[in-house]
Structures are given as structure tokens and as C-alpha cells.
Amino acid sequence: MRYTTSVPGFTMFQGNSGQPEWSRDLKPDHIQIIAQRAEARGISHLSIPWHIAMPRDDYGSNMGARWPHSLATAGLLLGATKTITVAPLVVSPCHNTIELAKAFATLDWMSGGRCLPVILAGYTQWEFDLLGGDYENRNDITDEQVEAMQALWGRENPRYDGRFVQVPDLLFEPKPIGGTIPMWFGGKAKRALRRMAKYGVGWQSYATNAEDVPAAVEYIRAQPGIGDKPLDIFCYFANPTHDPVSHAQSEAPKVVVGDAAIIERAQYLADKKINVTGAPLNSYAEKGVLKPARSFEEYLDRLDWFGQEIIPATRSFGDPPAVMARKA
């Protein structure tokens, strides 16, 4: 099993167990120190959420206003670290294709192949309208964007002529260090799962219970040409407790408490075909009593505990990774 985390305070969204109060005052030094400690303790991925702005309504109130730009944030985290994979989420049809391909290629080239794009087709029409995206055709656009980006990354003459996306005759560098960039994909509709099977090496489910993952993986594996290629399958450590549309918290988060319970849950996830999950850093317990991190310093202590006690005990759980850091 491999574990992702995100820097507390990047967003103040209260779903998925929320954000600690101390993270409201996140400082630049905190960001880099947390990234470096996560790397040193064996966390495999730093995940970066994507949103550009929020409407002034209940949805915006549930989500919170703070959402840093995922690609700009990826540059900071990659520059602060040396080995960890950084995984920025991107709703690609809200971006210009050539600009997006350039951003990912630059991050890949400058980091030695440690940027892992997580491509989403999106589902919130308000954001598409705000950014000038085509909401109705977002799935077709996403597929064409992926093909166009692969052409830009891997060909010397990367022309692409799709219905929605065009790449004219042009020069495009830097190229990714491996000639392309492995990608994860989000979404749990069958269209999204087929996209992941065709183009991706990993699936990052959203608001999906662990019990529902095996059926999705079976559908992915049934697609033409995928065979037995290694796949990264991500799922939240605990089942989500927020509404997937409104993002309102529908019930109290279910927190696993203590080392033995964490290890048991990790094995359960592995049995469900999951090999990447979020690190449950708030599950630290003393004498069976939950001890969440109440400060930046205590959060670093939780990273130390997780890297020393949990990661070694669960390293063998789940399938081998599909994506390893590529070396320049």
C-alpha cells in the first residue's frame, strides 16, 4: 500500500475529516517543511486539489473559498522536494490544451519526472461558465485534449485535428523526460472508466466507497487492450461522509483509531483492489484515545509516526505500483 497526503490548509473544505484549525494560518515555510517531512517518511504522493473560484451560495459555503492553483502549487512542491510524486488535479476542459500540455511538460522536465497529472472532466457547470469552458461537450473535449497532449509530448511534429481541439504545425519543447507523462484519471461513470482504461495508468475515485471499487476495476479491466498492465487504484482510507454534489457533510466522519485498526483497514482496502489511499494522519491514538494534531508541530509528529509505524507494516499490501518516479 502507498499513501497520499495533501498539505493541511491548502483548502478549508470540511469533507474527508476536514482541516485542522491551525492550518488556517498556514505559512510558506510550513508548506515546504510538511512536503519535505512527508517525503522523508515515505509518503508516495502529494495530492493537490483543483478549483479556481467558488460561487456565493451554499455550495461555495460548503467548499470554502481557499483553493490554490494546482499547477502553480505543484511547481512549489516539486521544487521543495527531490523524490516524492506530486499529483495535481486538473479539470482539463477548463484549460487551453496547448497551455496545459506545456505546464505539465515543464513540471515533468524540471522535476525529473515526478509530476503525475490527475485529469478530470469536471461536473460543476458554474466553473465552466466562469472560465469559458464547454460544459455540454466536456467529455469529448477531455478525450481530445489527452490525445493532443500526448502528441505534443511525444512527437517532433505534433499536429492534431480533432472536432474540439486542434494543434497546428508548431515547435514544442521542453518534452517530458520519458517522451510522455503517465496520467491518472478521475470520474466513476462508465465513460470516465473507459477513458482511464484507454489513456491512463491510475484511477482516482471521488466520493466512492471502498466496497464499490472492485466492480469499477473489473469494468476497467474488461476494456479492449488493457490486458494485465499495472494500474494504480486510489480510494479514500475511510468511506466519504459528504454529499458528492453539494459537498455538505451528511454525517460525522468515521475515523479509524489506532495502529492495529489502521493496518486492518489497509489490508481490507488492498483486498478491494486498492493500492493507493490517503494517509489517515488523524488516526493516531494514545492508549486507545484519538489524538488529532493540534498544531503544526504535532502534525509533523504524526507524519513521523505514520512513516515509522504504519508504512513499514503495510508496504506489502496491494498490487505493485503502475507509476514509479522517472529519472532524468
pLDDT digits (tens, 9 = 90+) for 110-167: 999 999 999 999 999 999 999 999 999 999 999 999 999 999 999 999 999 999 999 9
Average pLDDT on 212-239 reads 94
Residue type at position 200: G
CB 279 within 8 A of CB 237: yes
User: Considering only CA atoms, which of 294, 300, 298 is closest in space to residue 19?
Assistant: 294
- pLDDT confidence of residue 291: 87
- pLDDT confidence of residue 256: 86
- pLDDT confidence of residue 328: 43
Average pLDDT on 100-106 reads 98
CB 282 within 8 A of CB 13: no
**Biggest CA-to-CA distance, the chain:** 65
User: Considering only CA atoms, which of 82, 102, 99 is closest in space to residue 35?
Assistant: 82
User: Considering only CA atoms, which of 328, 327, 325 is closest in space to residue 114?
Assistant: 325
Average pLDDT on 86-100 reads 98
Interatomic CA distance for residues 204 and 206, integer angstroms: 7
- Mark 147-168 as b/e (b = at least 16 C-beta within 10 Å): bbbbbbbeeeebebeeebbebe
Interatomic CA distance for residues 133 and 128, integer angstroms: 4
Task: Examine the pLDDT at 180 and tell me if it is beyond 60.
Answer: yes
Torsion of the alpha carbons at 288, 293, 297 and 299, rounded to the nearest 10 = 100
- pLDDT confidence of residue 228: 87
pTM: 0.94
- pLDDT confidence of residue 141: 98
Beta-carbon contacts of 221 under 8 Å, excluding residues fewer than 6 positions away, are 197
- pLDDT confidence of residue 133: 97
Please give the helix or strand (H or E) that residue 11 lies within, else none: none
Beta-carbon contacts of 266 under 8 Å, excluding residues fewer than 6 positions away, are 1, 237, 277, 310, 314, 317
Residue spans of the domains in the chain: they are 2-314
Task: Examine the pLDDT at 325 and tell me if it is beyond 70.
Answer: no
| Mean pLDDT lowest among 83-92, 145-154, 315-324 | 315-324
- Give the Cβ contact number of residue 198 at 10 Å: 16
- pLDDT confidence of residue 182: 97
Interatomic CA distance for residues 9 and 27, integer angstroms: 9
| Mean pLDDT lowest among 12-26, 171-185, 203-217, 243-257 | 243-257
- pLDDT confidence of residue 287: 82
- pLDDT confidence of residue 35: 98
Q: How far is CA 226 from CA 16, 41, 218, 270, 322, in A?
A: 32, 33, 11, 21, 13
CB 277 within 8 A of CB 234: yes
For residue 234, what pLDDT band results from cuts at 50, 70 and 90?
very high
The pLDDT mean for the chain works out to 93
For residue 249, what pLDDT band results from cuts at 50, 70 and 90?
low
- Give the Cβ contact number of residue 248 at 10 Å: 14
Query: 2-314: which CATH architecture?
Result: Alpha-Beta Barrel (3.20)
Average pLDDT on 203-224 reads 94
- pLDDT confidence of residue 326: 59
Task: Examine the pLDDT at 79 and tell me if it is beyond 80.
Answer: yes
Task: Examine the pLDDT at 3 and tell me if it is beyond 60.
Answer: yes
Interatomic CA distance for residues 202 and 47, integer angstroms: 14
Interatomic CA distance for residues 233 and 322, integer angstroms: 9
Average pLDDT on 169-176 reads 97
Between 62 and 68, the more confident residue is 68
| Mean pLDDT lowest among 16-25, 190-199, 279-288 | 16-25
Count of alpha carbons within 13 Å of 239, Cβ hemisphere only?
10
Task: Examine the pLDDT at 204 and tell me if it is beyond 80.
Answer: yes
Summarised one tens digit per residue, pLDDT across range 33-44 is: 999 999 999 999
What are the φ and ψ backbone dihedral angles of 125, each rounded to 5 degrees? -65, -35
- pLDDT confidence of residue 227: 86
- pLDDT confidence of residue 80: 97
In angstroms, the first-to-last Cα distance of the chain is 26
